[in-house]
Amino acid sequence: MPGSAAKKGYKFQSSTAVATPIGGVKDEVLTQDVESQKIHENAFGPAKQRTGWEIKASALSLNTHNRIRNIVEAMQIKPNPNKAMIPLSIGDPTTFGNLKAADETMKAVLRSLESGKFNGYAHTQGHETSRQAVAKYSAHQRPEGVIDPSDVLLCSGCSSALEYCILALADRGQNVLVPRPGFCLYHTLAEGLDIEVRYYELLPEQKWRADLVQLESLIDKNTAALLINNPSNPCGSVYDEAHLQQLVAICERHYIPIIADEIYEHFVFPGSRHVAVSSVTREVPVLSCGGLTKRFLVPGWRMGWIIVHDQHQRLGTAVTGLKNMCGRILGSNTIIQGALPDILTKTPQCYFDRVIETLYSNAQLAYKMLKQVRGLNPVMPNGAMYMMIGLSKEHFSAFKDDTHFVQELVNEQSVFCLPGSCFAYPGYLRIVLTVPSAMLEEACVRIAEFCYTHYKKDNRALIEDRLLED
């Protein structure tokens, strides 16, 4: 077997997310505290009192890093004062005001608020009617087309859903397989608790399909989960059913559950089709993470969910751990929970179609313009709201790396992209496709001008240019 010793079967246990019940009378607690102190003093002597302020950050907080923030904040940026700033770096689709939530979505929240029924706490997994609505909305994720509401857990955004899944399945010393390039949050959520992140490579020349051989070589007995992001941030790739089956087959061979980040499941461009990974397997347990954030254009509402797909109940106590995780903050926003049934059923399809039309049109515009720029190699996305653009390092030798390239692009042209290093993939840029088309076109013109200024020709190109001039 690749990697090392393979697991012998599905025997998932929860991580330390399984909570210890709290109970007992006050006197018993005090007695336990006294006994504990006596044991400590017998072993180590009387406890020393502090003689001054000795506050230290926890290991978790010090080991938690957001790669995007770290890289961007280290840049020496001073935008060109003669050119308006165009931020192609922000993954919030509402930033520019051209993409807004549907009226029906807004009215659903107003009705929930005015009803007065959703001001208190809900069940930690979410209100029953809200989970029923999500179960019906997501029925396409099961081959049989039916999801029990008890398999739905509402969370504070998809980020929270991902965190719960990672922490419920993985413990300190274990590892999780995540894509590269990939959303940096996966690393942020894991590293603080000493959960190792192992990157499996995505191949740009194959529309960002996973390198299956390299992926399987990463697996060992401590591999807790495979994370699949489809459609992808930052790549915009959409996997077909055949490739998903290949990924599932690896997990089945090694008895590894899947965490499916499918927040962009409905952001798919014409000619492509999203297939939920849970719909192609009954053998491998899948935790699917989704939410309102992207499709409904309401990221600030923080409404996400986890759907547990585990027909053979192979997740075992990990499901208990997952439910315990939902109790950490006593559930998600109840006003939005109350609006979920109407949001998910009354927002018209024509609204979603217009959003996709805007994103697809922008993707075509950016690809067509940037493909003509020497030194750039954009990869046309099939979904989500991003595009990755390769940099020809040998022709931009004035820049140390992709981060330096981005820094100087801002300083000269006031266009801000994210360097591929933010996604553990140096040598690339990521742009967002949610900006107004006129702004995107202007940004592409400026990028082209910047590249033309700094493009370094090789000797052959110089000779060809001189021949053409003659």
Q: Is 204 exposed, middle or buried (0-12, 13-18, 19+ CB in 10 A)?
A: middle
Averaged pLDDT score across all residues of the chain: 90
Question: How far is CA 212 from each of CA 6, 47, 177, 442, rounded to the nearest angstrom?
Answer: 17, 55, 12, 39
pLDDT of 1 reads 46
Q: Is residue 188 pLDDT above 50, yes or no?
A: yes
Q: Position 3: which residue type?
A: G
Which DSSP helix (H) or strand (E) runs through 187?
helix 185-191
pLDDT of 25 reads 47
Contact 166, 172 (CB under 8 A): no
- Residue of 160, 162, 183 lying closest to 302 (CA atoms): 160
pLDDT of 34 reads 58
Given pLDDT bands bounded at 50, 70 and 90, which one contains residue 36?
Answer: low
d(CA 188, CA 422): 12
Contact 318, 14 (CB under 8 A): yes
* 52-76 mean pLDDT: 84
d(CA 186, CA 377): 26
pLDDT of 215 reads 98
What dihedral angle (degrees, nearest 10) is formed by the CA atoms of 91, 93, 98, 102?
A: 180
pLDDT of 218 reads 98
pLDDT of 467 reads 44
Given pLDDT bands bounded at 50, 70 and 90, which one contains residue 60?
Answer: confident
Does residue 384 or residue 59 have the better pLDDT? 384
d(CA 348, CA 356): 13
Phi, psi of 304 (to 5 degrees): -130, 180
Class of the CATH-defined domain 103-346: alpha beta
Q: Where are the domains of the chain?
A: 70-98+350-463, 103-346
Topology at the third CATH level for domain 70-98+350-463: Aspartate Aminotransferase, domain 1 (3.90.1150)
Percent of the chain with pLDDT over 90: 78
Q: pLDDT tens across 81-127, in order?
A: 999 999 999 889 999 999 999 999 999 999 999 999 999 999 999 99
pLDDT of 236 reads 97
d(CA 146, CA 126): 19
Q: pLDDT tens across 281-334, in order?
A: 999 999 999 999 999 999 999 999 999 999 999 999 999 999 999 998 888 999
3-state secondary structure of 170: coil
Given pLDDT bands bounded at 50, 70 and 90, which one contains residue 67?
Answer: confident
The top-scoring range by mean pLDDT among 16-30, 46-60, 334-348, 453-467 is: 334-348
3-state secondary structure of 224: strand
